[in-house]
Amino acid sequence: MKGVKEIKAPISAEMDEFEHRFRASMRSNTPLLDKITHYIVKRKGKQMRPMFVFLSAKMCGGINDSTYVAASLIELLHTATLVHDDVVDDANLRRGFFSVNALWKNKIAVLVGDFLLSRGLLMSVEEGEFELLKIVSNAVKEMSEGELMQMEKARKLDITEEVYFEIIRQKTASLIAACCQSGAHSSKTDLESQAKMRLFGEKTGIAFQIKDDLFDYNVNGKIGKPTGIDIKEKKMTLPLIYALTKAERRDRKWLINSVKNHHEDKTRVGKVIDYVMASGGIEYAHDKMLVYRDEALKILHTFEEGEARNSLEALVNYTIERKK
């Protein structure tokens, strides 16, 4: 598996320039806000989403100023949703560091998220990038709808595989789809290519989320024992949904009761994990993940081969082979 540095090689100069522009886009004259945004930037993740934007643009026609706006817009709105997510989930950690709400409390975290959202909106308007704004705003709308649907289903636990895929399409895949579509759009390529790149991103995003589901059972993970975090949060992952569909009525009742009423009980959660693993749920989810990976690569291979396409292929494989 290629590492992030190797995947990034064809766009390394552009990513360096992007970091400079992105940092500038977050600056504020309000000292507290500037302090918090500086904290966020210093603890950035792997920046996979901007990589999808730049590699898509490079493959489809070339990187230009519009591509930098697209990447900054995506990253600003993505960061805003992460800050708000941590408030919603009452999470104290983000990427191994204290979250904004843990350090500055919920009220400030919500306002910081709002600031980042407004910066993204203003940037796209100031640059006249209305189509990019439409693409990314649609993704944020879908992400919100997906989160709300997941919360609703967590109360009733009546989720089917079809509903699960709709939730992750909205909640996770919509933003990666927007990355690829906005990158392609910025390169001034034709509408058919933009639509193909959107679908490529969506398939990749679904595979990415299934991989996240598997981390809950510590498949290829770094630590010895499964975490069961999703079960504790009453999130219905694909391995659990599969186990429920295959379970006898009595076992199904026990599983639903365990997730609904005993999700804080470590021993009970451990038994649920053991049941899911014994049911073949892990293998089923892994196979589904590979199906979506293969569908994404099939779309990608309709584009001309080159270093950008090769890096996009490596990035797709990285999303499903990563260890964390």
CATH number at residue 136: 1.10.600.10
| Beta-carbon contacts of residue 40 (< 8 Å; ≥ 6 apart) | 26, 79, 83, 100, 112
Mean pLDDT, residues 207-212 taken together = 94
C-alpha to C-alpha distance for 320 and 93, rounded to whole angstroms: 23
Mean pLDDT, residues 257-274 taken together = 86
Mean pLDDT, residues 254-269 taken together = 85
Phi, psi of 97, deg, nearest 5 = -120, 165
C-alpha to C-alpha distance for 272 and 281, rounded to whole angstroms: 12
User: Partners of 98 in the beta sheet?
Assistant: 93
pLDDT score recorded for residue 86: 85
Tell me whether residue 86 is in a domain.
yes
Mean pLDDT, residues 102-128 taken together = 92
C-alpha to C-alpha distance for 56 and 33, rounded to whole angstroms: 33
Helices (H) and strands (E) in the chain, counts: 16, 2
Mean pLDDT, residues 4-14 taken together = 92
Whether 223 shows a pLDDT value over 50: the answer reads no
**pLDDT tens-digit series, residues 62-77:** 999 999 999 999 999 9
DSSP for 196-233, please give it: HHHHHHHHHHHHHHHHHHHHTTTTT-SSSS---HHHHT
CA 57, 319, 242, 258 torsion: positive or negative?
negative
Tell me whether residue 283 is in a domain.
no
Other CB atoms within a 10 A radius of the CB of residue 249 amount to: 7
pLDDT score recorded for residue 224: 37
pLDDT score recorded for residue 262: 83
Tell me whether residue 301 is in a domain.
no
What stretches of 95-254 adopt beta strand conformation (E)?
97-98
Is-contact 244 231, C-beta < 8 A?
no
- Count up the domains in the chain and report the number: 1
Tell me whether residue 308 is in a domain.
no
pLDDT score recorded for residue 157: 75
Is-contact 73 129, C-beta < 8 A?
yes
| Beta-carbon contacts of residue 1 (< 8 Å; ≥ 6 apart) | 314, 317, 318, 321
> Token pair 């507290």 is at which residue?
32
Tell me whether residue 236 is in a domain.
no
Pick the closest to residue 24 from 38, 39, 14, 11 (CA basis). Answer: 38
Tell me whether residue 252 is in a domain.
no
Does an H or E element contain 93, and which?
strand 93-94
Tell me whether residue 91 is in a domain.
yes
C-alpha to C-alpha distance for 244 and 238, rounded to whole angstroms: 10
Q: Which domain, by its residues, includes 49?
A: 4-190
Whether 307 shows a pLDDT value over 90: the answer reads yes
Planar angle of CA 148, 153, 159, nearest 5 degrees: 130
pLDDT score recorded for residue 188: 94
**pLDDT tens-digit series, residues 136-186:** 999 999 999 998 998 888 777 778 899 999 999 999 999 999 999 999 999
Tell me whether residue 242 is in a domain.
no
Give residue 232's pLDDT band: very low, low, confident or very high (50, 70, 90): low
**Token pair of 217 as six digits:** 């059972």
Is-contact 320 207, C-beta < 8 A?
yes
Which of 35-39, 61-65, 83-87, 227-231 shows the highest mean pLDDT? 61-65
User: Partners of 97 in the beta sheet?
Assistant: 94
